[in-house]
Amino acid sequence: MITFEKLEKHYGKRAILTDVSFQIDEPKIIGLIGRNGVGKSTLLKIIAGHAKASNGNIEVFGKKPFQNLTVAANTIFIEDGMTFPAVLTLREIFKSAEKFYINFATDLAFELLKFSNISEKNYHYQLSKGQKATFNLIYGIASRSAITLLDEPMNGMDETIRDDMYRVILKDFLAYPRVIMISSHYLNEMEHLIEEIILLHEGKVALFAPVVEVQELAVKLVGQKENVEPALKKYEVLATYENGPIFEAIVGKNDWPLPDHVRMQSLSASDVCKVLTATEGGGSIDDIYRNSESRA
Ligand SMILES: Nc1ncnc2c1ncn2[C@@H]1O[C@H](COP(=O)(O)OP(=O)(O)OP(=O)(O)O)[C@@H](O)[C@H]1O
286 pLDDT band, cuts 50/70/90, is low
- Residue 208, φ and ψ in degrees, nearest 5: -140, 100
Is it the case that residue 67 has pLDDT exceeding 60? yes
Contacts 24+ apart (CB under 8 A), 126-129: 128/156, 129/155, 129/156
User: Given this model, what pLDDT does residue 289 score?
Assistant: 66
* Distance in angstroms (rounded) separating the CA atoms of residues 190 and 230: 36
* Distance in angstroms (rounded) separating the CA atoms of residues 289 and 48: 43
Contact, 218 vs 268, CB < 8 A? no
Is it the case that residue 282 has pLDDT exceeding 70? no
User: Given this model, what pLDDT does residue 287 score?
Assistant: 63
**Mean local confidence (pLDDT), 132-158:** 97
Is it the case that residue 139 has pLDDT exceeding 70? yes
Report which ligand 1 atom has the smallest distance to the Cα of 38.
21
**Mean local confidence (pLDDT), 264-269:** 92
Q: Is the CB of 31 under 6 A from ligand 1?
A: no
Handedness of CA 207, 212, 213, 217 (dihedral sign): positive
111 pLDDT band, cuts 50/70/90, is very high
CA–centroid distance, residue 11 to ligand 1 (Å): 9
Contact, 247 vs 224, CB < 8 A? yes
Report which ligand 1 atom has the smallest distance to the Cα of 39.
18
At the fourth CATH level, the homologous superfamily of domain 2-210 is: P-loop containing nucleotide triphosphate hydrolases (3.40.50.300)
| In the chain, where the domains are located | 2-210, 216-295
User: Given this model, what pLDDT does residue 245 score?
Assistant: 85
Q: Is the CB of 38 under 6 A from ligand 1?
A: yes
Tell me the pLDDT tens digit for each residue of 186-243. Answer: 899 999 999 999 999 999 999 999 999 999 999 999 999 988 988 888 888 998 988 8
Look up residue 87 and give its amino acid: V
Cα 197 to chain centroid distance, Å, stands at 8
Tell me the pLDDT tens digit for each residue of 242-251. Answer: 888 899 999 9
Indicate which residue's Cα is closest to atom 3 of ligand 1: 11
Tell me the pLDDT tens digit for each residue of 70-91. Answer: 999 999 999 998 999 999 999 9
CA–centroid distance, residue 152 to ligand 1 (Å): 13
Is it the case that residue 123 has pLDDT exceeding 90? yes
CATH topology assigned to domain 216-295: Alpha-Beta Plaits (3.30.70)
256 pLDDT band, cuts 50/70/90, is confident
Indicate which residue's Cα is closest to atom 7 of ligand 1: 11
Tell me the pLDDT tens digit for each residue of 22-59. Answer: 999 999 999 999 999 999 999 999 999 999 999 999 99
What global pTM score does this model have?
0.91
- Which of 14, 16, 149, 200 gets mutated to test ligand 1 (max ligand atoms within 8 A of its CB)? 16
Burial class (CB in 10 A: 0-12, 13-18, 19+), 160: exposed
User: Given this model, what pLDDT does residue 186 score?
Assistant: 84
